[in-house]
């Protein structure tokens, strides 16, 4: 689903939206969104802003953003501090940077 999201984000998200299980639907949409944001971050973020608040979808967006630009991801999460408690997102970013190795970590 993530690969499809990179190729055609909206089509992948739409395909996921027909899943009858709300649990599966949201997770499939998050995977598609993760791919979509790596291809067109502005369009993916715009799509997410039009949806009801969803931690699963937000996490999919952040996961995709980390693969593109860790600084942008960090700035986005920092902007969430005023709205919600994004500690788990910060942990995701830190884990991603550690996986890349200390020499690649952003300062």
pTM of the entire predicted model: 0.76
Number of domains in the chain: 1
Residue 83 pLDDT more than 60?
A: no
Cα→Cα distances 3→35, 37, 80, 95, Å? 6, 11, 27, 22
For the stretch 48-79, pLDDT in tens is 989 888 888 988 988 898 888 878 887 877 77
Region 84-96: mean pLDDT is 72
Contacts of 89 (CB under 8 A, 6+ apart): 58, 59, 62, 77, 80
**Residue 104 pLDDT level (bands cut at 50, 70, 90):** low
Range of the domain at 8: 2-104
Q: Which residue has the higher pLDDT, 73 or 7?
A: 7
């Amino acid at each position: 689903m993530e690969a499809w999201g990179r190729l055609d984000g909206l089509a992948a998200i739409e395909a996921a939206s027909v899943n009858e299980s709300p649990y599966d639907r949201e997770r499939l949409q998050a995977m598609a969104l993760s791919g979509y944001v790596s291809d067109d971050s502005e369009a993916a973020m715009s799509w997410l802003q039009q949806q009801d608040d969803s931690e699963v979808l937000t996490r999919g967006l952040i996961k995709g953003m980390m693969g593109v630009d860790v600084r942008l991801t960090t700035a986005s999460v920092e902007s969430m501090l005023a709205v919600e408690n994004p500690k788990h997102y910060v942990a995701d970013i830190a884990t991603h940077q550690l996986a890349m190795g200390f020499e690649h970590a952003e300062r």
